[in-house]
Homo-oligomer: A and B are copies of this chain.
């Protein structure tokens, strides 16, 4: 039986062995191979870790033997002996997973020190104090990491001794005192654990390896993995490496450096170092590190070598490197290198610069920038360098940060906003009645409502920050204030909200304004050259449409007509239309709405021409346009109490009755979408007329527009046939009136499972398709978004039933299967039929990749997501070609 190889000397590894050796181990191996000065060492593989964890913490067969054999190699290379009293070999033991998990795993330095070898270290360095200080630190670190004894207990001992000698700093403690501290450390260990601190160095190493393996499942690591979606099954490697000492005098030192500025992306060595120090000292914060540029003066002997090595590493890895190094008595040692974390801004600049420098290809540059991250560059951000306390947390409904005076009603918000005040509109939930206030507010904060609530949808459309469903806030309307926990926030007090996190903060917090760099534009133009998917915008107004074109939209994939119904001057007419008791009354109201709609469409089509505009006919249930039922109920009760009789009361009672009769148990699955068009064909006819009249007007002005008239919520081809006939009839009438030929198509959304199952039939009528994945997710999973995101999705994420919120990241297995089926069925009937997506997934990178994979023609997303979508579309193609 051939034994598995669990231990690799650095020179046996390579950078592409990350999965086996971990990122750190693979890079140490790579640096060794390319001849960089790396302290010699070896790596225990992630397979060893997994075998150990699977076997209830039994080391796999042969692992320890191989470890000690590798240790012998180290001894012979360094001519040192592990645990020796003359020339002792000391090692560091570090964890290193395949995916970088900085700060998550535990590290032990100076392993190999005991009562004997400490003498050797003293001899070797000629520094008694140094040796005993190393020993003391090692015991403390080992006991903390391996034996789980708290740091504080060791610190108490040190403090006691410092007090005794009236010393302030640790480094002032003399060697003799350190020895007695070490004795007390040993006593502490015995008391705490019932056994002696291990003097056998192999036992030390074995215990340390075990501790590193165990640390894979410590709480911090588990939480980090969950947050960063790292599989639990990867396991960690263990790197065992000869120590290099940065604390052996003024020709020694330690530091970290980035090969480029990780914040701006500028090409400059960026980092800091400390002379005569070990890594710990930097972390402990006792001494302030020096900027890396000063190294030239302070460690001139190695500076140029270091600069060259950094450049070397960047060239070798073809990416910005994050490097740890130590200088021991004038000799440079590279301890670690990895691709450096960077801001969105830096990420873009580094990628573009490196293409210009010839270091990487355009394709590589496109793949190297996190598409999701560049969203940051488009919104005002809270300055993350400042630590802020949130007083409440809601749903991150629309990204960006806003700050302003708290106002509780839309009229005030409009008035003060118009007057130039910065205001944040705070409401239980918003309704169409609040739209004028929303327009003038910096941001919106609501107590109720989810990611698809009115506030959220409107705010996203406007690119305005919004925090929704912040249920810990209790609005006390009569007193014009809100309470959250013990805090009272009055009308006019300033708050800040972060629509990217859902945080609500007191006062004005520091913001970073968005800047779109030249590199950003360059990267996006490269993205356009490398993608198959077109990117369209969801836009309901000419303003949104213009913003969308600015960001490079290639059309509108979803223009919702209902938001046009919500404007203050139109809502009364809409309500009249809804409450009409006869067809004639309804048609009268509709004919009042016609000019408004025509004007809306005219504006949008004009901005977007000659790109296509998908106009969705009225979709939401009609009761959404009516006043709030509960408020009305209480008003009536109040009037009755005051014994107010007469017309006003009767009208209110009548209205309540009508609201009652329109109200639904499950409005999401109710009388909406094309069902409205089927029960009230006159509504869709008016909308079709408004579209065609707008197009005719444009045509007269010499502008050729193209519309895709979209029927929502279709579940059967018969619905589409019927409504398409109505639309074509309106067109035929207009053609007779004006003899004007227009360019348009009639199609439908795919947002119900039945539509996906019968897309072949629907394709007989539909000239285009657009996946409405918000609703398709709701129906496929049976998740009402408004209810699920507040109530059980967090629990599902926590219990790992789902990996992502299915409303944020498309559920490929469920929703995706239906989409794939629908595409195949549609294309089976109409080979080249246009198919897109207009749910919010259309702006999310993983979902966009899926859309690319199943062969959609375009994704459509909110204007501010277009850059993300363009990049993600290019990445999807590059990753899958």
Contact = CB atoms under 8 A, between A and B. Distances in A.
Interface string A626-669: 00001001100110010000000000000000000100111111
A758 interface: yes
Q: How many copies does the complex hold?
A: 2
A754 B779 CA distance: 9
A869 B775 CA distance: 35
A786 B664 contact: yes
A736 interface: no
A799 interface: yes
B665 A715 contact: no
A752 interface: yes
B801 A719 contact: yes
Contacts of A287: none
A817 B759 CA distance: 12
Given A757-B814, A813-B758, A814-B754, A775 B780 contact: no
Contact of A758 (B450, B796, B814): B814
Contacts of A668: 665-666, 669, 782, 784
A718 interface: yes
A806 B795 CA distance: 34
A661 B802 CA distance: 24
B801 A779 contact: no
A62 B796 CA distance: 73
A753 interface: yes
Contact of A641 (B641, B758, B817): B641
Name which of A661, A666, A786, A818 has the most chain B CB atoms within 10 A of its CB. A666
Contacts of A710: none
Interface string A458-502: 000000000000010000000000000000000000000000000
Interface string A744-765: 0000000111100110000000
Interface stretch (A244-252, A307-315, A671-679): A671-679
Contacts of A637: 634, 637-638
A818 B757 CA distance: 8
A630 to B, nearest CB: 7
A791 B784 CA distance: 21
Nearest to A721: B801
A356 interface: no
A802 B679 contact: no
Most buried by B among A471, A670, A722, A751: A670
Given A757-B813, A757-B817, A758-B814, A665 B784 contact: yes
A550 to B, nearest CB: 35
A792 interface: yes
A411 interface: no
A661 B471 contact: yes
Residue of A630, A634, A754, A791 with most chain B CB atoms under a 10 A cut-off = A754
Interface string A252-263: 000000000000
Contacts of A667: 665-666, 784, 787
Interface in A774-793: 775, 778-784, 786-788, 791-792
A764 to B, nearest CB: 14
A108 to B, nearest CB: 38
Given A633-B634, A716-B802, A787-B664, A679 B792 contact: yes
A779 B779 CA distance: 5
A301 B311 CA distance: 123
Interface string A701-724: 000000000000101101100100
Contacts of A675: 791-792
A661 B474 CA distance: 13
A414 interface: no
Contact of A814 (B715, B799, B815): B715
Nearest to A664: B787
A811 interface: yes
B718 A802 contact: yes
Nearest to A669: B784
Contact of A718 (B719, B783, B795, B800): B800
A678 B782 contact: no
Contact of A784 (B450, B664, B792): B664
A782 B754 contact: yes
B716 A669 contact: no
A880 B671 CA distance: 38
B634 A801 contact: no
A679 B801 CA distance: 12
B778 A669 contact: yes
Interface in A800-824: 800-802, 811, 813-815, 817-818
Interface string A721-754: 0100000000000000000000000000001111
Interface string A397-428: 00000000000000000000000000000000
Contacts of A775: 782
A817 B713 CA distance: 19
B757 A780 contact: yes
A791 B670 contact: yes
Contact of A787 (B666, B719, B751, B787): B666
Given A637-B634, A716-B801, A818 B678 contact: no
Nearest to A681: B799
Nearest to A757: B817
Contacts of A752: 780-782
A630 B630 CA distance: 8
Contacts of A671: 787-788, 791-792
A427 to B, nearest CB: 16
A450 B719 CA distance: 23
A799 B669 contact: no
A134 to B, nearest CB: 50
A791 B662 CA distance: 9
Contacts of A784: 664-670
Pick the 4 closest A-B CB pairs, nearest first.
A669-B784, A754-B814, A666-B784, A753-B753
6 contacts: A665-B787, A666-B668, A667-B787, A718-B802, A752-B780, A754-B814
Given A666-B668, A668-B669, 15 more contacts: A633-B634, A634-B637, A664-B791, A665-B668, A666-B666, A666-B787, A669-B779, A671-B791, A675-B792, A715-B814, A752-B782, A753-B753, A753-B818, A754-B811, A779-B779
